[in-house]
């Protein structure tokens, strides 16, 4: 599997991005495509690449370190990524999906000319 190359930082304007609309057809196609224009798009593209990876070495190429990713909205093809905050080189986003229950919080870091996933956690659920 080709090692994905991704994403330069850009405008951190808050926005919600559907990964179903922005997902590349393969990691190599993503490397050849035009980069995202927002931090949320960068994370959406990373999540799409991660879903397409068939092995751990490919998944490791989109993470900053060994990231334990719990099953949830980040795995859904209809994932929607919404920027929470941009800390300048580190972004926090909320990920939801109509097809998967729950909310996940994702952080990504800009390192050596590309964005990488740093952490994925399940968001606490509000009591009913």
Joined together, the tokens standing for residue 94 give 């909320």
**How does the average pLDDT of the chain come out, rounded?**
78
Characterize the bridge pairing of strands 80-86 and 16-18.
Answer: antiparallel
Q: How sure is the predictor about 82, in pLDDT bands with cuts at 50, 70 and 90?
A: very high
Q: What is the pLDDT of residues 115-127, one digit of tens each?
A: 999 999 999 987 7
| DSSP secondary structure letter of residue 73 | G
Please name the residues in contact with 103: beta carbons below 8 A apart, sequence gap of 6 or more.
73, 94, 95, 96, 122, 123
Q: What is the pLDDT of residues 14-60, one digit of tens each?
A: 445 554 444 444 444 343 333 556 889 999 999 999 999 888 888 88
| DSSP secondary structure letter of residue 8 | -
Q: Are the C-beta atoms of residues 90 and 121 closer than 8 Å to each other?
A: no
**Choice between 35 and 3, residue whose per-residue pLDDT is larger:** 35
Joined together, the tokens standing for residue 48 give 């799409």
Q: How sure is the predictor about 8, in pLDDT bands with cuts at 50, 70 and 90?
A: very low
């Amino acid at each position: 599997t080709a090692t994905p190359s991704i994403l330069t930082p850009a405008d951190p304007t808050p926005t919600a991005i559907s990964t179903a609309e922005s997902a590349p057809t393969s990691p190599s196609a993503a490397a050849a495509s035009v980069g995202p224009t927002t931090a949320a798009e960068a994370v959406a593209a990373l999540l799409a690449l991660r879903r397409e990876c068939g092995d751990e070495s490919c998944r490791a190429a989109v993470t900053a370190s060994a990231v334990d990713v719990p099953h949830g909205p980040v795995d859904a093809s209809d994932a929607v990524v919404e920027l929470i905050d941009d800390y300048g080189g580190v972004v926090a986003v909320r990920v939801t999906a109509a097809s998967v229950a729950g909310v996940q919080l994702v952080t990504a870091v800009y390192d050596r000319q590309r964005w990488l996933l740093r952490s994925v956690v399940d968001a606490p659920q509000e009591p009913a």
